[in-house]
Structure 1
Amino acid sequence: MQDSDSVKAWCSEITTSYTLEQRKQWYSVVAHAYNQVRPRYPQKLIDRAVELTQIPPQATILEIGCGPGIATVEFAKLGFSMVCLEPSQEACQLAQINCAAYPNVKIINTTFEEWQLEPNKFNAVLAATSIHWITPEVRYQKSAEALQDNGSLILLWNTPPHPNDEICHLLDEVYQTYAPSIPKSVRYQARETHQANFQEIGQDFLNSGLFQDLRSEHLVCETTHSIDDYLLLLSTMSPYMKLDLQQRDALFANLTEVLERHSPGSLQTAYLSAVQVAQIKRN
């Protein structure tokens, strides 16, 4: 029950703290950085999503909140037709560039809430680290209504990449001094907590009575960042975006100093990547 409550608090913070207009543009100022440094979804999980859902080669996928097209490109490579919704104009432009080689991908600058529903059209609804931005009463019902009778829901997740425990410990004092509003529990949330949160979001789809047969898989992925790219990555995360510019600059300058001293040149990080699939439930 505690995990469920934390998920509801996490999702409600987004949908109640920000108006729809604010949510539309939240990532606009960091769209290019997001495109450059946000972690990618492992091909193994993309392939598993296709295997688990058994969507046909000629399937049409509706993607909710495609951003600059990080997941979009991976499904487009497999030959699927896609209709992708993205509220940020800047992210839409990047998605169009990234998907230029795939004529069966259509990018629409709108929110899922405002999108004119095309009922019973899609073989799958895809959301890649985005479904928590959708108003709860919309995300279940409208996703179900968009799907064909044998359609599937695909949720992909990437958690923020974290350095190892030793490096995290060295950075604690910097955060306590320059950004106490970002506690350690937010900066370095345990993988088990992320997994529990994802499971609860999937369970909420089942609880809606509109979906069934939830299945989940995950991988731990290791990456190497330059220190500049790691800080650029942090700048695309909401807790850092909420800081005023002067505070964020001071935080990043001091993080850079510590990282250059203890991990000169590059930084090893790891993140959790997960896929969840469920089937539409028709009465």
Structure 2
Amino acid sequence: MSVQGEVDMARSRVFGEVAELYDAARPGYSDALVAEVLAYAALGDRAAVEVGAGTGKATMPFAATGTPLVCIEPDPRMAEVLRRNTVNHPGVRVHAGAFEDWQPDGRGYGLVFAATSWHWTDPERRWDLVHAALAPGGAVALFWNPQGVRDGELHAALAGVDRRHGMAGAPHGEPASSYGEVPGDWAGQPGWPEDECRRDGRFTDLRAVRYRQDQHYDTDHYVGYLASLSRYRVLSSDRREQILAETAQVLNDHGGGIDMALFSDLFLARVR
């Protein structure tokens, strides 16, 4: 694994410090997106694998459809919350460990999906691991929830706070107007997997779908959401508390919350 990959892996393990906050504050995924994935995958009696399941923000809507799931979560604290959240879904099995260390044991799964977690996987191995887990014709679904601030004045005020503290990549870092019209057009930000998948060559029927909805957070909810993010977790506690306090003050000065455009962008492909 590259040095950057090791750094990313370390950042991916900080969520467990605030597993309960993560579970309460993070946005979920729409039923329409889940329906799109399941229609594309056409699982039949095959099970699905979720990579980086966290506390179950995407797990729960899939489990609610009766889909059998193997949920892989590297942080044991997150996995414990996930087990609690899925206790009433006997078709869900939780594997506490890294996707890179998990073994499908020769079982051909019908779907591998990752909800805002694909970027934490090892880029040198992830397509091999997905291919090894899937049955012929099996599907991969990768999706994210990028957001943009709807109020330009509020965006500018929050950007001032972030500049003072050297913060980059916060959810409020882009205005909603800067996003393009197609899935994966994230105001110039990298991470969309289509080119990487095409270069791999073992997948076909590539598709991309975007869902958009308006999302309102009150100040406490939004600050809690920020506190669950890795780029805030890696800060010293004093520095983190300072930037969160200043962010909260800006939100309170602008009506006590923030209105965001939430883009759920979905990438689909299947094994040739």
Q: One fold, TM greater than 0.5?
A: yes
Of 175, 189, 204, the match for 2:196? 204
Q: Is the 8 A contact 1:62 1:124 kept in 2?
A: yes
Find the counterpart in structure 1 of residue 271 from structure 2: 280
Q: 1:188 aligns with which of 174, 178, 187?
A: 174
Number of equivalent positions: 266
**Matched-pair contact (CA < 8 Å) for 1:128–1:157:** yes
**What does residue 222 of structure 2 align with?**
230
Contact 1:163 1:270 in 2 (8 A): yes
CA separation of 1:270/1:98 partners in 2, compared to 1, >3 Å: closer, same or farther?
same
CA distance in 1 between partners of 2:27 and 2:4 (Å): 21
- Contact kept? 2:174, 2:187, Cα under 8 Å: no
- Partner residue in 1 for 2:126: 139
1: CA distance, partners of 2:237 / 2:173: 19
Q: What secondary structure does 1:137 align onto?
A: coil
Match of 1:217 among 201, 209, 232: 209
Aligned match of 1:113: 100
Amino acid at match of 2:267: Q
Partner of 1:76: 63
Give CA-to-partner distance per residue, 1:14-70, whole Å, 9 cap, x none.
51424x5x35622111221111111111111111111223222x3300111100011
Contact 1:120 1:145 in 2 (8 A): no
- TM-superposed deviation, 1:184: 8.1
2:142–2:267: 8 Å Cα contact kept in structure 1?
yes
1:257 equivalent in structure 2 = 249
**Contact 1:119 1:147 (8 Å CA) reproduced:** no
The residue type paired with residue 275 of structure 1 is: L
Q: What is the CA-CA distance between 1:139 and the residue it aligns to?
A: 0.7
State the one-letter code of the partner of 2:268.
V
For residue 203 of structure 1, report the CA deviation from its aligned partner.
2.5
Q: 1:100, CA displacement in angstroms?
A: 1.0
- Alignment pair present for 1:268 and 2:259: yes
Does the Cα contact within 8 Å between 1:214 and 1:277 map onto a contact in 2? yes
2:194–2:267 CA contact under 8 A, matched in 1: yes
Amino acid at match of 1:180: G
The one-letter code of the counterpart of 1:243 is L
Structure 1 CA distance for aligned equivalents of residues 249 and 213 of structure 2: 26
Task: Note closer, same or farther for the CA distance 1:207–1:216 as it changes in structure 2 (3 Å cut).
Answer: same
Map of 2:16 onto structure 1: 28
- 2:224 maps to amino acid: L
CA distance in 1, matches of 2:258, 2:62: 30
Name the structure 1 match of 2:234. 242
Shift of 1:262: 1.6
SS at structure 2 position matched to 1:40: coil
CA contact (8 A) 2:14 2:234 kept: no
- Look up the match of 1:7: none
Q: Quote the Cα distance in structure 2 between the aligned partners of 1:89 and 1:274.
A: 28
> CA 1:67/1:81 → structure 2, altered by over 3 Å: closer, same or farther?
same
Choose 102-111 or 47-56, whichever is displaced more: 47-56
Match of 1:43 in 2: 31
Question: Compared with structure 1, are the counterparts of its residues 262 and 72 closer, same or farther at alpha carbon in structure 2 (3 Å cutoff)?
Answer: same
1:104 aligns with 2:91: yes
Partner AA of 2:200 in structure 1: S
Structure in which a larger fraction of residues adopt helix:
1
Question: Following TM superposition, by how much is the alpha carbon of 1:279 offset from its aligned partner in structure 2, in angstroms?
Answer: 0.8
CA distance in structure 2 between the partners assigned to 1:124 and 1:183 by the alignment:
30
* Aligned-partner SS, 2:37: helix
SS in 1 for 2:168: coil
Change (3 A) 1:239 1:188: farther
SS state at 2:28 partner? coil
Structure 1 residues not aligned, in runs of 5+: 1-11
Write the letter of the residue equivalent to 1:139: R
Can you give the 5+ residue segments of structure 2 that lack an aligned partner in the other structure? none
Aligned mates of 2:244, 2:187 — CA distance in 1: 29
Distance 1:112 1:183 in 2: 25
Stretch of structure 1 that moved more, 160-169 or 107-116: 160-169
